[in-house]
Structures are given as structure tokens and as C-alpha cells.
Structure 1
Amino acid sequence: MNIAKMIDHSLLRPELSTDDVRRGCRIAGVRQVASVCVRPSDVGLAKHELAGTGVLVGTVAGFPHGDTLTTIKAAETRALAEAGADEIDMVLHIGRLRSGDTAYVHDDIAAVVAAAQGRVVKVILENAYLTDEQKVTGCRLAEQAGAHFVKTSTGFAPGGATLADIQLMRATVSPHIQVKAAGGVRALDTLLTLHQAGATRFGATATETILDDHAARERGERPATVTASTGGDY
């Protein structure tokens, strides 16, 4: 199992300096993760730092609250694509989803998908603010709008990925739609539990800890124990 290729190394915290982003990209390149997920203004920097590594550059749109105008989200996505972003993690409009305005939520996602011009789009539901019914609706709208992933959380809300949410999301979307867990994925056991439940990509800052633990277990130096996630931020 290639754990590294399931990880989007997260570099989204607002206090990160340019040097912090460079260091994070070096970690991503050496560890050969799936991608880094950087702040929009860091896309060009990450693209430069990761050139030739095969590691993708992901970024965010409408982050972290999802309540910017659809036209702004789409324009942001086009600009990020032009800057070199390979993947876009967008936040749907949480308030409109909670209000039952499904047409707005669908069209908001669809506009970003169109602006991404074939790039992978992951739709963040921010499950901490939603009922199970709203989570199901959000997942279905994301699929109908052409998204490639549904994602649990930004990592900046009161709660993050949980086992119950991954199971619910996986059961809701079609097999070709993937599920990303983010928020609280700080340990290998958590990642493995959520992977068993159907998550295929993980947002994490504890990338080195997770991969070091996996390598040690592969060498037989640590016992393998799998425990459920309790959620939380990155």
C-alpha cells in the first residue's frame, strides 16, 4: 500500500512564511506524496519548488468559508489554473446548503468545475456544520455538478474527519467519485481506519510522522494497531 500517494501535504495555515512553504514542498518532494495543498498565493512558488518531482500542486478556492460570490470563485479557479495548479479544493456555500438552496449550491460547484478546465476538483462540505441529511445532499450536488472528490473539512472548523462521515459520504456518491478526509488525520492508525471506510486521499500536516510510522511498521519495528478517528483540525 502506497500511503504517501494518498496524502495531500497541507500548507494552508495563515502564519506560514515563504520559507515554511519551501520547506513543506521539500518534504512533499522527498516523501513523494500525492500533492501539496497550498494557499492560492503560493501556487507559483510550489510549482517552482516541486518541478520535476511528480508531486502535484493543489490549492483552494472560496476558502475557508465558501461564501464568496460564485463569479469570484470561478475567477479565482481560472487564475489558479493559469498559475499552474493541478487540483482545486473548493468550499461549497455552507449557509446555502443549510438553507436548502440546492440550485445555488449546485451551480456554485459547477462554475468552479467549468473554470478548472478538466483539473481535479474536490468539494469541501465542512461537515462540522451539517446534519447527516445535509451531508448527503451536499455530496449528491457535488457529484451532479461534475466534481471528482467530496471532502469532509477545511481543517479550520470545530471538527474534522470522522469515521461515520467517511462511511456516509462513501455510501452516498458513485464509485467513480472519491472521498477525501481532512481535519484530524495526524496518525497512521487514523488514516488506515478512514481508508478502510472508503477515503482515498487525506489532507495532513503530520505527513512525516505518518510515513515514518508506516516505514517502521513495514520493517517490523512497531506493532500495527488501527483505531477510529475522533476528528479535529489539521
Structure 2
Amino acid sequence: MKLSVAQLAAMIDHTLLKPFITNQDLQKLCDEAKEYHFKTVAINNAAIPFCREALKSSGVLCDAAVSFPLGQSTLETKVFETIDAIEKGAREVDYVVNLVEIKNQNWTYVEDEMQRIVAVCDKRQVISKVIFETCYLTDEEKRRLCQVALKVKPTFIKTSTGFGTKGATLEDVRLMKSCVGDAISIKASGGIRSMEDALAMIEAGAGRIGTSSGVAIVDQYRLHQAEAASK
């Protein structure tokens, strides 16, 4: 894996999505993101104004979680939430697909939802990520969802919220990569807690890592690189 420490850090969305956090926790998240030069802080939308101010002039972006974690908001609500998050300072948006409509095989709805949310992001020059929540999908449903994404062209497709029964797996990242190739980037998230986990996901095809263990991952990688250089 020929990545510098800085390159690895810039692939990480530093995540804090727990429901019982304080502003002190958010400040710590932002301070770490600035110190380590992570790509974003991934947060619930109510935290965006606080984090936007804490990250001012740092280059670290706010990444909003839309219809999180179930994806069961109405389409109109998801669109409004996306616009509201962007207006409050989000520069990236991760939204959860409507899993019920996938199970209903209502692919017209799924495509329309994706099209409308991605269009909102594209119009405002904001990165869009579609969360599949792969633990609840069959491989065929994952492939079909990839086909929809290839039509709509979000910036990323993403494995998981981290709140499902399972997070990212190498098999799912490889499957998604095999479907979309280089046309759409892939974000792996959920259960990625070590340097080895992160590097394996990147090797499998992920271009972004969502994790609450970013500090530990980068520290492990920095030590690993230093040890390798001293040999």
C-alpha cells in the first residue's frame, strides 16, 4: 500500500454520530480533524453550525448524514433535509436509501430519490454519497442499486451507516467496485477500527473511509511507516 500518512488521513471521514454527545465532544472531534487533516467530520445535521464554526479556515469539511440511519423519511423530507444541511454549511452529504422500496423492487422510486438528492448536491457543488446499508441487501439488490447509481452518478456509493447489523465488508466493497469500476467512488464505513482494516478496504477499492477510529488508524500507520523506513 503506497500511501503517505497525509494521503491516508485525507481519505478519512472522522465520524461522530452518537445521539448523546455534547459540544465538548464535537469540539474534540473538530480539533482532531484539524490536527490530523482528515477530509471531513461526519455528523448529524443539528451539529453542522457548531462544527462549521469550529472548522473555519481549516480545510476540513462538514459531512451531513441525511435520513440517518434508517432511510425511511419521505422523499420530500430527504430533499429538504439535504438542502437545509447544505445551507447550514455541509459540503458533503451522505443519505440512506429507502430500503423498503428496494425490498418492494420499486426501482423507479429508488432512482427518482437518488436523482433528486444528487441533483440538489450537484447544483450546489456538494459531494453526494448514497448509503446502501449492505447488511440488509442481497447481492442482487446491491448490484441493481449499483446500476441505478451508474445512471444517476452520485460522487460515492457507501456500504453502511454503522448502525445496522453489520458494517463494511471486503466482499461488499469488491462487489460494488466490480459493478461501478472507476465511474463512481466507494466509501467503506462501519466497523473499521484499525490500520489493517482501513488499508484492506482501500486495497479492495474504497476511496474514502468512514470511521470513529481515525486518530488510532493514522497513528498506527505513522508508526508502521516509521518502522518500515528504519529497516
Q: Tell me which of 161, 165, 186 is aligned to 1:158.
A: 165
2:205 counterpart (198, 201, 219): 198
What is the CA deviation profile of residues 157-207 of structure 1, one whole-angstrom value per residue up to 9, with x for unaligned ones? 010100100000001114131000000110000111111110010100011
User: Which string of whole-angstrom CA distances, capped at 9 and with x for unpartnered residues, describes residues 88-129 of structure 1?
Assistant: 000010111122100000111111112222311100000000
Unpaired runs of 5+ in structure 1? Answer: 223-234
Instruction: Tell me if the contact between 1:74 and 1:112 (Cα under 8 Å) persists in the aligned partners.
Output: yes
The residue that corresponds to 2:40 in the other structure is: 35
Q: Give 3-state SS (helix, strand or coil) of 1:59's partner.
A: strand
1:152 aligned partner, one-letter code: T
Distance 2:109 2:120 in 1: 17
Q: Give the alignment partner of residue 94 of structure 2, picking from 89, 94, 100.
A: 89
C-alpha distance in 2 between matches for 1:142 and 1:63: 19
Please state which structure has a larger fraction of its residues in helix: 2
Answer yes or no: is 1:57 the counterpart of 2:68: no
Q: Is the 8 Å Cα contact of residues 43 and 57 (structure 1) preserved in structure 2?
A: yes
1:141 aligns with 2:158: no
Q: For 1:142 and 1:70, locate their aligned partners in 2 and report how far apart those are by CA, in whole Å.
A: 17
Distance 1:218 1:30 in 2: 19
- Kept after mapping to 2: 8 A contact 1:75/1:115: no
For residues 63 and 36 of structure 2, the distance between their equivalents in structure 1, rounded to whole angstroms, comes to 16
Residue identity over aligned pairs, in percent, reads: 33
1:8 paired with 2:13, answer yes
- List aligned pairs for 1:10-25, cutoff 5 A: 10-25=15-30
Q: Distance in 1 between matches of 2:203 and 2:153?
A: 25
Q: Which of 37, 47, 55 is equivalent to 2:52?
A: 47
Contact 2:68 2:96 in 1 (8 A): yes
Q: Structure 1: which amino acid aligns with 2:28? A: R
The answer for the alignment partner of 1:123 in structure 2 is 130
- Work out whether 1:179 is the aligned partner of 2:186: yes
Contact 1:107 1:145 in 2 (8 A): no
CA distance in 2, matches of 1:99, 1:201: 30
Instruction: Determine which of 167, 170, 180 is the counterpart of 2:177.
Output: 170
1:66 matched to 2:68? no
Distance 2:133 2:81 in 1: 20
CA shift, 1:28, in A, is 0.5
TM-score (norm 1): 0.92
- Determine the structure 1 residue equivalent to 2:196: 189
Matched residue SS, 1:75: helix
How many Å separate the matches in 1 of 2:150 and 2:53? 32
**What is the CA-CA distance between 1:221 and the residue it aligns to?**
7.2
The question of whether the paired residues in 2 share the 8 Å contact of 1:186 and 1:206 is answered with yes
Q: Counterpart in 2 of 1:227?
A: none
2: CA distance between counterparts of 1:17 and 1:135?
36
